[in-house]
Amino acid sequence: MQADVLVIGSGAAGLTAALLLADSRKVTVLSKVDTKSGSTPWAQGGIAAVSHERDTPEDHVSDTLTAGAGLCHEDVVRHTVMQGTWAIGQLIDWGVQFDLRDRDRDVRAGGEYHLTREGGHSTRRIFHVADSTGAAIASTLMQRAHQHPNIEVLENRVAIDLIVNKADNACVGVYVLNRASGLVEALQASAVILASGGASKVYLYTSNPDTATGDGIAMAWRAGCSVANMEFNQFHPTCLFHPHAKSLLISEAMRGEGGTLRLPSGEAFMERFHDAADLAPRDVVARAIDHEMKRLGIDCVYLDVTHFSRKLLQTRFPNIAARCATFGIDIAHDSIPVVPAAHYSCGGVRTDLHGQTDIDSLYAIGETAATGLHGANRLASNSLLECMVFARAAAEHILASTSQGAKMPEVPAWDESRVIDADEKIVVSHNWDELRRFMWDYVGIVRTTPRLTRALHRIELLRREIHEFYSSYRVDADLIELRNLVEVADLIVRSALRRKESRGLHYTLSFPETCKTAEDTLLTPGA
């Protein structure tokens, strides 16, 4: 199958790129399961952009640089922040209806958008749709994509490996497992965009959907791309702690509106860790919660929003209120039990300002990429902004450097002549569970060199076992994801061992101080 542009991933980044390309290119979008399965629909907070006279681009830049702990690339930060107005305007033009300050007034009649504030931001600048901004953006973009004659969306396709023409170091397609048929397809394109999200499923506890297995990062690494800053894994401070709640994020906007983190005794504790208390950056809050849980031997802490009016809870946080209610928690009267969970990969495939990787015609955008925006810790609600800005950059570069209907080189068919059907899959499920458990125990919020070394040894054993299994049996989705997860785990641990300091999201008891000079951790295949 052929397309002018192939987009791997159907979240905000991938769909934005597809829509910006489709007026003059034929675009195929691959969705791993269905189009509702990615991370974008799970985003609660919103999208950060400067929009009122009490805020300035310099303030947004400063907040981003501060959160990034000295590792952000300032030129990338400025480039991204300055396109905030375009990003919001484009989403509004496409049909996203952000919340208004006065719900009874139309913005066209002079109504103003309601802005919220999140940790690390010095003012309110977050555009949102109640507490389901990601879902609103995802559904709007997907509806437009389905309506566009030049966009084909293929669901239940799991990317396996990129196809690279070694003669000119150019990506010409990808091998993909069709879940429905069980067959592997070769998809060709003049340009390929990796927009497959992050890798937080490498950890036992995560706010992410099951699809966040680092596929784009692993495929790019195997193809020959450099990766940067893989040690910086953001743990969201507040996920619901309940035996039957899977990956329920409790939005940071709740603390932005005045929620307070408390110990079981009722004591508010964040003032002991940061001047901004509950509005400190995510890395600080996650470490503080982790510290208190270990100090007191408790299973969780509590987010108190019982002083909010029921009207505020129902209009501002209807999804969270409803989901908590299903677990018997009335957030108007009960504090919410919360724990940190793996949330966002700040590192990824190294790109330039066009989203280009080390391989020609291969682009990486969104959480798959390491653009230099997030540094050592992502500022809340900058991720959707990054998706929009770099989708636009990649689309413009592709339009300028490729032609519609260009002739494509022949690609080899997928060869499974020497493999057989797996006789038992317990090996895959056991290794999946083992990997995620020791990554949580050894490579989590607080690290040490002995723990990292122990994790690296376990990864090597798993890599050999998984490689043997992959080489002997026909692929399925679980095996593909496990192969990618162990690749990403290896990159995370090796990057963490190289950083001989504590900075941002990487906190190690072996090197508790921060170096005066901030440098990226860059890994290159074969180096």
98 φ/ψ angles, rounded to the nearest 5 degrees: -70, 150
Q: Write the DSSP string, 27-59.
A: EEEE-SS-TT-SSGGG--S-EE---STT--HHH
Considering only CA atoms, which of 237, 291, 304 is closest in space to residue 264? 304
| DSSP reduced 3-state for 348 | strand
* Rounded Cα distance, 234 and 347, in Å: 10
∠ at Cα 420 (414, 421), nearest 5°?
105
Tokens of 411: 């690609």
* Rounded Cα distance, 254 and 318, in Å: 12
503 φ/ψ angles, rounded to the nearest 5 degrees: -150, 130
Cα distances (Å, whole numbers) of residue 151 to 17, 38, 184, 351, 393? 11, 18, 22, 25, 19
Residue corresponding to tokens 């209009």: 315
Task: List b or e across 393-414, with b for residues whose CB sees 16 or more CB atoms inside 10 angstroms.
Answer: bbbebbbeebeeeeeeeebeeb
Please report, as a single letter, which amino acid is at residue 348.
G
Residue pair 79/389 in contact (Cβ under 8 Å)? The answer is yes
Look up residue 378 and give its DSSP letter: P
Q: Are strands 47-48 and 126-127 parallel, antiparallel or unpaired?
A: antiparallel
Assess whether 282 carries a catalytic annotation. yes
Residue 356: partners with Cβ closer than 8 Å, 6 or more residues away: 362, 363, 394, 397
Q: In terms of DSSP H, where are the helices of 259-309? A: 282-296
Residue pair 49/88 in contact (Cβ under 8 Å)? The answer is yes
200 φ/ψ angles, rounded to the nearest 5 degrees: -70, -15
Considering the candidates 125, 157, 282, 378, report the single residue annotated as catalytic: 282
User: Which residues in 207-254 belong to E strands, given as ranges?
Assistant: 227-228, 233-240
Considering only CA atoms, which of 520, 163, 527, 220 is closest in space to residue 371? 520
Active site residues: 282
